[in-house]
Amino acid sequence: MSQNKNEVLYRVYIVLGLLVIFAGFIFYNAVKINVLEGEKWRKEGEKDHFRNHVVKASRGNIMTEDGALLASSLPFFDIFFDLTRPSRELWTNSNLDSLVEGLMPYIGDDWMMTDYAFRDSLIKARNAGRQYMLIKRGVSYADYEKIKQLPIFRKGQMTGGFIAEENFKRERPYGMLARRTLGYVLNDRKVGLEGFFDKALRGSDGKKLKVYEAASKILVPVNDLNSIKPKSGDDIVTTLNVNIQDVVQKALLRGMEHHDAQTGTVIVMEVKTGKIKAISNVGKTSTGWYEDYNYAIGTKVEPGSTFKLASMMALLEDGYVDLDDSIDLEQGLHTFYEEEMRDASFHQLDSTTIRKAFEISSNVGIAKLIQKYYGNTDDAAKFIQHLRDFRLDQLVGIEINGEDKPYVKQAYNADDNWSGISLPWMSIGYEVELTPLQLLTFYNAVANDGRMMKPYLVTQIQHFGEPLKTFKPTVIKKQIAKPETIQKVKELLEGVVETGTAKKLKSDRYKFAGKTGTAQINYYKFDQRDNIKYRASFAGYFPAEDPVYSCIVVITEPRQNGRYGSEVAGPIFRQIADKCFIQQKDLYPKENELKEKLTKKQLPQLDVGYRKDVDKILKQLNLKHTDSGVKNWAVLTADTDTLHIAPRYISRDLVPNVVGMGLRDALYVLENLGLKVTFEGSGKIVQQSLKGGTKIRGQKINLKLR
């Protein structure tokens, strides 16, 4: 035992001795370098050293399809002066004075000295044998072009000593527009389009020899035949539309501020192609609202009532129901396995149609139907399979890193915490999670008559305008449901806006379709508590007859001025659609389509306007009409397939009948007669406060438009 103990001690002593020797060696070399050879190494450090340095390539541009720059690498320059290069003939008082005078507007704030003092510093440095002097860092391209034309400098690097090192700074001409979608690259963190397309955008770095001048402690590029020039990055052309993006961003921010919400997101997609035309995200921070995260792509949530579209499609696909079948809503209260489910609004309805139940977003109605037809084990799996057929369990594969995977439960799977109430709650958008983009892709497929398109953000990769790679619209699934199913749910979505939960959002200028959604966030199966938080949403498309754009709005935790989808998200959708109609010509019906509607469906009836304007429209549409010799104001009356132009008489003493006129014409007529006009609404005059034929005495008249 004693022998083993001694052996261990010997080993410890040996290791300790080696450590002492190693420490002594390090101490000796430290003393040698700093004391014994210190002067030698200090002198060596004062010498100039040449080093190879990486030259960063110019990063490619990110553009819209119409060529607007969303992100670009702008050049800026560090200006150096090689004081040894100018000859005595060039280094004259006259040339030096002109050089200094030309430089001072660009460098005055940096050097903090008069032009005479700066001139003296150049002379002293040259006389002292210094070679390089840093003149200015971060000079813009415009200033660089002016500086290099100054006396002495205009002779170039070899004769005039002018040295300019080019660097690049990433700029976004539209500021915060689509900030999170464009993204950034920071070390190993790659976000948004900048991150996803980093390999194409970054180009190839070069290599250049630089000299480190110990006296001035600066690195200066020098001419070197072995230098490697950087190759600039490729450009990417996005699907984004600057005008729509601007509309979306402003509408979302206004909505967030009005409702004091926590987070919000909006996406606008082109129905036929899947092109993302705008995407905006806003989150509330301690200093206000900021685009801090891409909620549209990276955050899956329980969608709430917007998910009812999928439930109705499953029922219609299996032929279990039709839109005008009856359903007992039980005045909006039903119990599933001892758990109460309530409708959001108190409607007092018992028996009604399935169409009506969907339009008023009845939780009870939809959940009862799903439970009735899919309530047992085999049928529950059938319902889940429909959701998978609609691709609600799949990533859409957008060109941005971090898309959150959707969550759809497996029927009766213990790992998914399946319970007796899972099915009814899933049917109304709980116990299932989707990102806003994944849900919009589903709605976009409905708008596109069942054809599901892959959402995408980039159409092309270019290099100096030459296409290198083109990305075309991609069909994910040719038909997600039967054509008759798609047609019926489109009727339902239009009904939501015409007579349902979104009827207050209806427009007289165009039709749109969609579904409101309100989800409780920190809920326990609809128990009412004071601290319940909400997520309001609206998903739909416009125009309803021939959809061009689909759009989703999701607002989380609105704290004031409403909490439901129809109050919070719906108005934002409407604002965006309104502005798009103003800006986008492709949303208006084509002339021949308008002509067909007028001649085959409904001719103008009792429309009033100035005769020349009426003639112009009728001629453009090539509509049959008769004329009774009207000179000034005309009213159109319809007779079968022919229009008749009748006169609308205006008296100087009597209040005229302006019903049917547009506001512009009505104001012209009434104000010229001395009446004081107020109005409300938009469209055409449908009512006037003073009856036609009333004696004019300078009264006030109110017009209602619709």
- 243-587 and 52-180+202-236 share a CATH fold: no
Does the pLDDT of residue 48 top 60, yes or no?
no
pLDDT tens track for 96-140: 999 999 999 998 777 888 888 999 999 999 998 888 889 999 999
The radius of gyration of the chain's CA atoms, rounded to the nearest angstrom, is 37
Per the CB < 8 A criterion, the answer to whether 470 and 298 are in contact is: no
Integer Cα distance of 632 and 131 in angstroms:
87
Q: What confidence tens digit (pLDDT) does each residue in 304-332 have?
A: 999 999 999 999 999 999 999 999 999 99
| Fold exhibited by the domain 52-180+202-236 | Penicillin-binding protein 2a (Domain 2) (3.90.1310)
Q: Provide the pLDDT for residue 441.
A: 98
Domain locations along the chain: 2-46, 52-180+202-236, 243-587, 601-705
**For residues 283 and 290, is the Cβ–Cβ distance under 8 A?**
yes
For 172, how many CA atoms within 13 A lie in the half-sphere containing its CB? 14
Give tens-digit pLDDT for 82-95.
Answer: 999 999 999 999 99
Q: Which amino acid is at 619?
A: K
- Range with the poorest average pLDDT among 37-46, 502-511, 544-553: 37-46
* 45-54, 356-365, 579-588, 622-631 — most confident range: 356-365
Q: Which CATH architecture has domain 601-705?
A: 2-Layer Sandwich (3.30)
Q: Distance (Å, rounded) from C-alpha 614 to C-alpha 529?
A: 60
Judge whether 444 and 308 are in contact, CB under 8 Å: no
pTM: 0.73
CB neighbours of 639 closer than 8 A, spacing ≥ 6? none
How far are the Cα atoms of 359, 570, 576, 683 from residue 512, in angstroms, in the given order?
A: 14, 11, 12, 17
**Largest Cα span, the chain:** 134
Cα–Cα distance measured from residue 610 to residue 632, given in angstroms and rounded to the nearest whole number: 6
CATH of domain 243-587: 3.40.710.10
Q: Is the dihedral of CA 427, 429, 433, 434 positive or negative?
A: positive
Which of 453, 571, 551 minimizes the C-alpha distance to 503?
571
Is the N-terminal amide bond of 424 cis, ω within 30° of 0? no
Q: Return the pLDDT at 630.
A: 54
**Helix/strand/coil for 187:** coil
Q: d(Cα 177, Cα 269) in Å, to the nearest integer?
A: 17
